[in-house]
Structure 1
Amino acid sequence: MVRRIQEGDAPTPPVPKIYCVWTKFQVQEMSSNEKNAFAAENCSSMSLQACLEECMEAVDLFLNNEFTESLDKLRPRVDDSMYHALIYATVLEMQAMMTFQHDDIVHAGNTMKRAQEVCQRFRRKSSNLASKSSADDFAEEQLHAEACYAECLLHRAALTVLQDENMVNFIKGGIKVRNSYLIYKELHAFIQSHSSHKGLNHSHLKGGVSFGIGAFNLTLSLFPPRILKLLEFAGFSGDKEYGLSQLHDGATSLNLRSMLCALLLLCYYTFLSFILGTGEGDVADAEKLLEPFRVRYPRGAIFLFFAGRAEEIKGNIDEAVELFEEGCRAQQAWKQFHHMCYWELMWCFTYKRVWKMAYFYADLLSQESRWSKAMYVYMKAAYLSMLPQGEARPFGDNEVELFRQVPSFKQKIAGKSPPTEKFAIRKARRYKASCPVQLPVPVLEMMYMWNGFTMIRKRPDLTKGMMETLVEAEHTLHDSPVNEYTVDDRCVIQLLKGLCLKNQGQTEGAEQCFNKVYSSEKHIKFDHYLVPNALLELSLLYIDLGRKEEAVKLLQKAKNGYKEYSMESRTQFRIHAALSKLQADTSDPTESTDL
């Protein structure tokens, strides 16, 4: 179990000289000016540079899986050092997001709020970096305080949205994001216009700004134009290449935020570009970025995980399994790191069609992880449904009963159910009937939703195995009585067969499969996501064949012609990525701006 740090756990911190005069209660009662004076005097007991060095040591411990030791090093100074407060709260936030326990999220949010208050004490009373005359008067600590304050806002926004599902909290989170963005913009402009300013801690300040500017630019660039127009109206903007360059600068220089910059880049290269993109992640860039971290932290669980993901993308499934298993063995303090590995191990055994092993990891997740129990139970049922009818089920489980349980585990994040959970619940509905019609290939269908077919495109043997499973399901469906799900099930199989044929280089066969789905549009009753996704996959096929004009037409049709289907946001993100790849004009004057 993860050791959760509660309010009463903290040992008595060393008493700085200033606490002999001022008690903690008195500090809270001070005016803004008094707090600033207090912060300045207290800082003298430990210089900014010394604080940064100690926080770097704490981060080093964290990356070496020494999580408790990292927190122990930070805790004594969380009330008087902005960097100790920020890093301490960031570690608790990471813990809360992995445990997904409400108490952990609330505790992390309160800790981050206190960290923001500490940062506030170091800020100038009237912060106006936009004014050159005013900006020139900023002391070094005050500039760092701006960066730390903006980072606290960003973290608190995420925790505010997770903490409660009501719209008020969602709006509060949005306000924090905007305030953070504006501070980062001012800091970035300051650094650009004061390039000659090279203090002892300049690299840490620049790293903090690189993280903020990079994160905003990269994240915003992923949004489809319909949403981006609204964000630009609110003052936001996103440039993917600039965001990547800023994060790369932050990740490859020695600074306190290099870990955050590196983790965000690795998430983009190995996850976002696959799940929300065209499946062409920059795995070479990920491996290059990973290399120095793997050398410095050979047993670091985080980096073992991303190394496994890189091997998985390359189609080296056995090597990926070995790294994920090593990541689980590397540490036992935070079991939630194991859950990330379990999820990937589940998919690795899916690609190999070892259904019982995949079921085993889905079962572990359903017992230990709180992130998406509906998804885990659905996957357990899906794997059992892939086994032969007469074969014994592990633990005596029954797929029909498991499918029926899926809706009971529905949850909400930021006021909405996760799209993958909604999808799983919709697919499981047919099992409510006393004599349910079985889903033909639920595992492979969910694998498509996570863009898993791109993971095996370099492995002809794995693609061949998937095709064998689909052909067998097609024969079973052909021999079964026609029912209300028959057309939908046939189209699911056609879409997935098209992906396998594309992997095998059989472009004509793939094109026929995607067109069969499109031509069945009027007869599909439930799985309306199939048509826009078939058009998307057909357009990606045309891009590979150099038929760009046809691809653009299909992408525009998929983007504008279909609404309110399962996983719509994910499909729209992928369409946007494909259009961006073509460098096509994504603007549409008739497009609605309703979210």
Structure 2
Amino acid sequence: MLHLTASCLFASILTATPQTELCVEEVISIRRSGATLIATTSLRFHFRYFSSLSGETNMSLTLSKRKNDQEDKFEDARESIPVATTMNLLSSLEECTTGLYLFLNNRFSDAINLIHPWSKNSMYHSLMYGFFMVFKAILTFEPQDLQIGMIAAKDALNTCNNFRKKTKMTLSHLVSKQEIMAITEEELHAEVCYAECLILKSFMSFIQDESMLAFLKSEISVGSSYQIYKDCQQILMQIPDNQSKTHKHLVGGIKFGLGAFNLMLSLVPPRILKLLNIIGYSGDREVGLSLLHESASETHINNIISLLTLLFYYNYIYVDFGVEKVYNPATEDLFLVYLQKFPNCVILKFFHARSSMLKGDFKNAQLKLQECIFTQNEWKQVHHLCYWEFMWCHILEQDWRQAYHYANLLSQQSRWSKAIYMYSKAIILALLPSHFVKSVSEDINSLFLKVEGLRIKFLGSSVPIEKFVAGKGQRYGTTTGWFTAQPLLEFIYAWSGFRVMSKKVELISSWLSIIDRGEDLLQENPHKEYGTDDISLLNLLKGLCLKHLGKYKKAEYYFNRVIQKDKLLKYDHYLVPYAYYELGILHYLKGDYARATKNLDKVRNYKDYSMETQLQFRTHIALEQIAKEK
């Protein structure tokens, strides 16, 4: 997030190279509404500031003397960034881009301090400040930050509303050419900003208010936001091309909104869409991804948010729900361009680590995560994201002590999910020697039993994954005779860990050996009450490992063994629908789309089991993918 406000400089920053040459007039002639704002800022400040924001430390600047031998006089360098005294649409976009670049260089307080003064009088400042505060609230989950985030989102909504068209008629009712031509570009910008603010406020409402009424209100707001984006797109198609410097920001914002909504709605199963009938829309995933990629490839204030949406999709949603076999190379290339421009950006570094992990390069992932931690200390909650990924790297590599170290850090420092962190500690300690457990003053059974009391609620209901681990915690904390790796194996499956490992055959083979040992132990000493459930779990995981190893016939055998125990399972009823899903994906990978569809359709016959919603999403996306490839 930055402060060079001439629009030509923003384009230069995005394309800067060590050989870039700029004249001094371009560097210091920074104007807003015709009034020079930084007439007293020293040249030395601009050199240092411009260089740090663009990510280039050896950028050379060629100075040209002003005509008539006139030279500018400068004061000493200022560490603080002057506050604007006037603001119009163009200058607000330029200053907000400055703030965004500061943010991308981990100067979070500087970004907030720059944006906040105008957050009640400028639509883009209000939107940017709302985004910063909501982002911080999500990271910390502290009650005070959540409250500040909600207030900022509401204030942003009110500010943007003040700039909207002063009529009771919505954009979708502007049917005549005369009415459409009468709307100003600033009013269209206000509509786009208002739509984004609706999403921010809805998200904060969803987090803070547990009532179903709040949920319905949020969905109505989201539907209104999507309609605004669609209306703005229709209006742009009917008016002449606009060559103003602000127009590209408007177009980019609409592409981001339509792209994000198409992607989000395409992931939702029809059954759940019916429950959310108030939205009344469906999405096209390919259209959504294409629009987001276009938006991220262009120069405007929403490009980085478009990129982050793509990165989140491919690094998390895609891994958990998708059936694609490769990471999107176009998005990866685009990501590397941004990473080159902002090499110290902790958010981009984090996604770089995550993508390395998904490629099976766990060592590089850990190096990148370490860089994330060392890069900034202002928002230490970012460290918690890294601790979570560190924990998973060590779990998948079977380094139990280091995995416990990060699980313990999370349980002590993070507010996100104490229940999951406590369960993580317990299942990892179960695999460590008893003398180590004593050395850290932990009792495994006590940890398992504490999980239940740490659960949180949204919309008056338990978070599904927390409900799942709480039930497992009661089981493992009150019984004996279970295979020590069994809870961890199940946890890895719940978090799509086997798919993460699929790039490293040796890791899959190593975990398959652990499963084989567990199967032998449980068959020798079956548990009277949980025996069938335990063996069926290991059969499901064994089939999964064999599938990733390309041994489809053997994998199919073990999936069918789980399905055959359908009526005998006492507790883990989720195993059968998940076995049908895995069998369907196996046939999809073999190219047998008919059998794949048949098995995936059977998933829909099951209800009221653990992690049901997750499987509904996965099944919907798989069936949609098969339909496209038939």
Q: TM-score, normalised by structure 1?
A: 0.88
Partner of 1:463: 508
Partner of 2:60: none
Q: 1:195 to 1:325 in 2, by over 3 A?
A: farther
Partner of 1:82: 123
- Conserved 8 A contact 2:437-2:443: no
Distance 1:395 1:427 in 2: 23
2:377 aligned with 1:336, yes or no? no
Q: 2:613 aligns with which of 564, 569, 591?
A: 569
Partner of 1:239: 284
Superposition deviation, residue 227 in structure 1? 2.1
Distance 2:276 2:233 in 1: 20
**What SS does the aligned partner of 1:88 have?**
helix
Distance 1:291 1:78 in 2: 32
- Conserved 8 A contact 1:501-1:510: yes
Task: For residues 139-172 of structure 1, give each alpha carbon's deviation from its aligned partner in whole angstroms, at most 9, with x where no partner exists.
Answer: 2211111111111111100001111211222122
Superposition deviation, residue 85 in structure 1? 1.1
Q: 1:205 to 1:274 in 2, by over 3 A?
A: same
Single out whichever of 171-180 and 307-316 deviates more from structure 2. 171-180
**What SS does the aligned partner of 1:505 have?**
coil
Single out whichever of 440-449 and 144-153 deviates more from structure 2. 440-449
Partner of 2:344: 299
Residues 122-521 of structure 1 mapped to structure 2, 5 A cutoff: 122-126=163-167, 128-130=170-172, 131=174, 132-194=177-239, 196-229=241-274, 231=276, 234-278=279-323, 280=325, 282-388=327-433, 392-393=437-438, 395-433=440-478, 440-521=485-566
Give 1:395's aligned amino acid.
V
Superposition deviation, residue 488 in structure 1? 0.6
**What SS does the aligned partner of 1:136 have?**
helix
Give 2:478's aligned amino acid.
A
Single out whichever of 203-212 and 381-390 deviates more from structure 2. 381-390
Superposition deviation, residue 232 in structure 1? 6.2
Q: 1:151 to 1:470 in 2, by over 3 A?
A: same
**Runs of 5+ unmatched residues, structure 2:** 1-32, 34-83
Task: For residues 236-292 of structure 1, give each alpha carbon's deviation from its aligned partner in whole angstroms, at most 9, with x where no partner exists.
Answer: 221111111111121111111111111111111111011122364525344212111
Partner of 2:41: none
**What SS does the aligned partner of 1:198 have?**
coil
Q: 1:497 to 1:481 in 2, by over 3 A?
A: closer
Distance 2:326 2:496 in 1: 12
Distance 1:414 1:326 in 2: 37
- Conserved 8 A contact 1:407-1:425: yes
- Conserved 8 A contact 1:430-1:436: no
Superposition deviation, residue 75 in structure 1? 1.3
Task: For residues 34-71 of structure 1, give each alpha carbon's deviation from its aligned partner in whole angstroms, at most 9, with x where no partner exists.
Answer: xxxxxxxxx99322111110100100000110000100
Superposition deviation, residue 100 in structure 1? 1.2
Q: 2:105 aligns with which of 64, 72, 78?
A: 64
Superposition deviation, residue 435 in structure 1? 5.6
Superposition deviation, residue 103 in structure 1? 2.3
Q: 1:45 aligns with which of 77, 83, 86?
A: 86
Distance 2:526 2:435 in 1: 21
Q: 1:398 to 1:543 in 2, by over 3 A?
A: same
Distance 2:418 2:567 in 1: 34
**Runs of 5+ unmatched residues, structure 1:** 1-15, 17-42, 587-595
Give 2:128's aligned amino acid.
I
**What SS does the aligned partner of 1:455 have?**
helix
- Conserved 8 A contact 2:533-2:571: yes
2:157 aligned with 1:107, yes or no? no
Q: 1:44 to 1:235 in 2, by over 3 A?
A: farther
Superposition deviation, residue 509 in structure 1? 1.4
Distance 1:432 1:221 in 2: 40
- Conserved 8 A contact 2:429-2:437: no
Superposition deviation, residue 473 in structure 1? 1.6
Give % identity: 39
Single out whichever of 98-107 and 310-319 deviates more from structure 2. 98-107
Structure with higher Rg: it is 2
Give 2:116's aligned amino acid.
R
Q: 1:296 to 1:546 in 2, by over 3 A?
A: same
Q: 1:73 to 1:573 in 2, by over 3 A?
A: same
**What SS does the aligned partner of 2:86 have?**
coil
Q: 1:323 to 1:422 in 2, by over 3 A?
A: same
Q: 1:271 to 1:111 in 2, by over 3 A?
A: same
Q: 1:493 to 1:195 in 2, by over 3 A?
A: farther
Task: For residues 466-516 of structure 1, give each alpha carbon's deviation from its aligned partner in whole angstroms, at most 9, with x where no partner exists.
Answer: 112112222222232532011111111111111111122221211111111
**What SS does the aligned partner of 2:398 have?**
coil
Distance 1:280 1:206 in 2: 32
Partner of 2:624: 580
Distance 2:437 2:150 in 1: 47
Distance 2:524 2:208 in 1: 50
Single out whichever of 191-200 and 312-321 deviates more from structure 2. 191-200
2:572 aligned with 1:527, yes or no? yes
- Conserved 8 A contact 1:555-1:575: yes
Partner of 2:22: none
- Using CA pairs under 8 Å that are at least 6 residues apart, name the structure with larger relative contact order, 1 or 2: 1
Task: For residues 99-155 of structure 1, give each alpha carbon's deviation from its aligned partner in whole angstroms, at most 9, with x where no partner exists.
Answer: 112221121111111111111111111154332432211122111111111111111
Superposition deviation, residue 336 in structure 1? 1.4
Give 1:483's aligned amino acid.
K
Q: 1:436 to 1:279 in 2, by over 3 A?
A: farther
- Conserved 8 A contact 1:439-1:489: no
Superposition deviation, residue 82 in structure 1? 1.0
- Conserved 8 A contact 1:65-1:331: yes
Single out whichever of 330-339 and 227-236 deviates more from structure 2. 227-236
Give 1:247's aligned amino acid.
L
Q: TM-score, normalised by structure 2?
A: 0.83
Distance 2:272 2:628 in 1: 18
CA RMSD of aligned residues (A): 2.1
Give 1:504's aligned amino acid.
L
Distance 1:199 1:256 in 2: 15
Q: 1:575 to 1:214 in 2, by over 3 A?
A: same
Partner of 1:20: none
Distance 1:537 1:578 in 2: 11
Q: 1:73 aligns with which of 94, 97, 114?
A: 114
Distance 2:106 2:240 in 1: 37
Partner of 1:545: 590
Partner of 1:29: none
Distance 1:143 1:504 in 2: 53
Q: 1:482 to 1:44 in 2, by over 3 A?
A: closer
**What SS does the aligned partner of 2:458 have?**
coil
Task: For residues 328-361 of structure 1, give each alpha carbon's deviation from its aligned partner in whole angstroms, at most 9, with x where no partner exists.
Answer: 1111111111111111111111110111111111
How many residue pairs align between the two structures? 544
**What SS does the aligned partner of 2:322 have?**
coil
**What SS does the aligned partner of 2:241 have?**
coil
- Conserved 8 A contact 1:270-1:286: no
Superposition deviation, residue 585 in structure 1? 11
Partner of 1:23: none
Superposition deviation, residue 432 in structure 1? 5.0
